[in-house]
Amino acid sequence: MRYRWFDEEERKRKGKALPKEDPGSPAAWKKRRLARTELFASVIAVGVFLYGLATEDIPLLYLSAAFFLNAIRPFALMLGEPFGSFLANLLWGFSIALFLGAVFLAFF
Instruction: Read off the pLDDT of residues 12-44 as tens digits, 9 standing for 90 and up.
Output: 666 555 555 555 555 555 555 667 787 888 788
- Does a structural domain hold residue 2? no
Average of pLDDT values for 57-67?
A: 92
Number of other CB atoms surrounding residue 91 within 10 Å: 21
Do the beta carbons of residue 69 and residue 88 sit within 8 Å? no
Its domain, for residue 69, covers 22-107
Q: Is residue 8 part of a domain?
A: no
6 found inside a domain: no
Q: What is the mean pLDDT of the chain?
A: 79
Asked if the structure places residue 36 within a domain, the reply is yes
Q: Determine, yes or no, domain membership for 16.
A: no
% the chain with pLDDT above 70: 69
Query: Is residue 15, in this structure, part of any structural domain at all?
Result: no
* Residue 62: how many other CB atoms lie within 10 Å: 21
Overall number of domains in the chain: 1
What is the separation of C-alpha 81 from the centre of its chain, rounded to a whole number of angstroms? 15
Confidence of residue 102 (pLDDT cuts 50, 70, 90): very high
Q: Does residue 89 register a pLDDT over 60?
A: yes
Residue 13 lies in a domain: no
Q: Distance (Å, rounded) from C-alpha 7 to C-alpha 42?
A: 45
The answer as to whether 12 is a domain residue is: no
